[in-house]
Structure 1
Amino acid sequence: MALPAPRTYVDVHILQTVPPANLNRDDQGNPKEAYFGGVRRSRVSSQAWKRATRTHFTERLPAQDLATRTRRIGGALAKRIAAMTDLDAEAASRLAGALLAPLKISAGKKEGDTAYLFFYGRRQLDAVAALVGDRATELVALDEEELTAEIKQLSVQKEFSTGHPMDVALFGRMVADIPALNVDAATQVAHALSTHAVELEFDYFTAVDDEQEKGEETGAGMIGTIGFNSATLYRYASVGLHQLVDNLTDQEAAVTAVEEFMTSFARSIPSGYGNSFAHRTLPSLVAVTVRSDQPVNLVSAFEEPVTGSTGIAAASASRLAHEHARAASCWGDTPDFTAVCHTFDTTGDTAKLLEHTFGEALSFPRLLGDLRAHLTDPLKQAAR
């Protein structure tokens, strides 16, 4: 019998410089901010970057291997049933409602909606629909009492409790009404925070009415403002490999999920006002540490805001390296694995400091390959 996976945390530290942008709006439509170290910082919420990461998954992975988060699970299930049977929409909707009824998910304000977003795997929903696929015509002919009795014998809750897709395993699922359907998240994502102080700025814009211009009229067809800022952001996330193994019940799949998360977390960016600012960039640094004690966020490196005229990103990278070294020295915690990918001049002081702290600079694919090799060996040992 395989032993539980050893406690293993994969910490991801990213520095990314973003030009004028409004990645993540507050209730006033301006970029989100936070006070840290006594000054105003640019902030991007963890929810926004998790959403961007999940969206990036869809660009690279088969749709059926991923999950959907929605209040409209009843409608989605009805479509699945209609697609695999000869039932019309009304009959399929009745069967879908009957299948979901035993779960006792609170109903939302709109008919057919649940009270909260439900995060389910697309293959899980297919499996639930398949429970009635062969008997659909027989079941819809039953009255409500008979149909309810038949549905109770089916393994609806089991189908939602097993075979979790990668994104549910990574980000977890909370179902207040049905604790048995909860999935503990394997991933923690911090709010991205600028390493330096920022000031909110406003873009005053006008739009010209093309037809008005033809008539030689003056004045703008539209006037408005958009809040923005620019920042070098420190981004941090931690993946508990042991929790991933538990959620996916497959060690190889768990390591692959770490790789997929790393790729999408590093390459994704929230899309707010993307057409107005074209703000997509790639990180200037991605550092990875693998630990067996606890996740360690290194944001304290920037409690004193970074300043200087020689480059905020390079100064931030140096701060990060120093903070990692100080934490390891003070607490006596030596990571099991470290690796770094960065874009700084390999002959400069910043690159030398990063190499001394995290190891030689690697390409991102090489970093992922080395990480996979490190994670796979301990898991194989645990399985013996």
Structure 2
Amino acid sequence: MGDKYKFIVNPNAGLGKCINKWEIAEKIINEYSIDYAVDFTSGPFQAEDLVIKAVNEGFNKIISVSGDGVLNEITNGLMKVPEEKRKTVSLGVLPFGTGNDYNTVLGFPWNPKNAIVHLMEKSATSPVSIGKMKVVDTGLEKYFINVLDVGISSIVGHAANLGEGSFVKGPRKYTYLALKKLLMVKQIKANIRLDEKEFLPIKLMMVTIGTGKCNGGGMFCCVDAHPQHDRFNVFITKSVNKLQTLIGIGRIKDGKHKTMKGTLFTYAKKVEIKTEKPIAFQFDGEVYIPPKYPQSSVGTHMITEIIPQALKVIYNTEHKSMNWLNQEELLKGKLPPLEEKRDWTHKKYRKWLELN
């Protein structure tokens, strides 16, 4: 029995351009004579139910046609599917949103025609790790496939969702909003623990925890993360002022912030954060900002843990800035290197994806 594709499309993604890109892409899809169907989302969190329905109907290739938000919904929907059935499903992306951050590790071009050609002809599947987060004092539990961030980057994401800075096009909008919101944000006293180590007191401006490399429209906070690894890449601002943060934004965009003063760049399977008051956080486009959201969601105690090989994804076999291990290597227990040396930097390759 052949593959059955379900494309889940958010027509409003990418400032409303997703639907036009999808119409171009579907013409190319029809040239391949594959077995497929399409669902269009009409509101938040609908993709979660759509993917569960699709899996129960026998679709084994689920393609998110949007940005990171719908991909996040699909991820959480798949984690509600029984494990044995989930193992038969592969998750792919057509990056027709605004940020398209997780696609940076999957490696599909943003151009609709090229994206389909790579998806159909130059792709493979692999198990990947995802994160599970829980706000202990409110009971909120969610999964994320890319990056969870706490602090200023969450406020930036919320502003982007509300349409602020809409005159700035593409991923540059996130940089503009980061500079704007930096003037408003204050450090929060917090304690953070990595795995089973002692709690570390910090003045929290930003913490990012990722299996993917970038968030916020191309900010390479977790530049050494790899989806096939069993540890998060973690970036923590321990004690940085606003000027240092301002300078750091440029370094983060280049992925050159690993030795930045007042920060910690490390790896962990579990991250626990306690803050003196509720703090903003987001993961893959889903944002929680106090006091915007009720106390049933936002709290002061968060635990994040990695779940190795939780899902299967579809990736570009011609990825130019990172190596993916093959199935045989994974079965032998091999893990990818946390720091890779390739001819292409991640920033250069992401730019290539945007233009191609």
TM range (shorter): under 0.3
Q: Which has the higher contact order (CA 8 A, sep 6+)?
A: 1
Point out the structure with the larger strand share: 2
TM-score if structure 1 supplies the norm length?
0.26
TM superposition score normalised by structure 2: 0.28
Q: Rg bigger for which structure?
A: 1
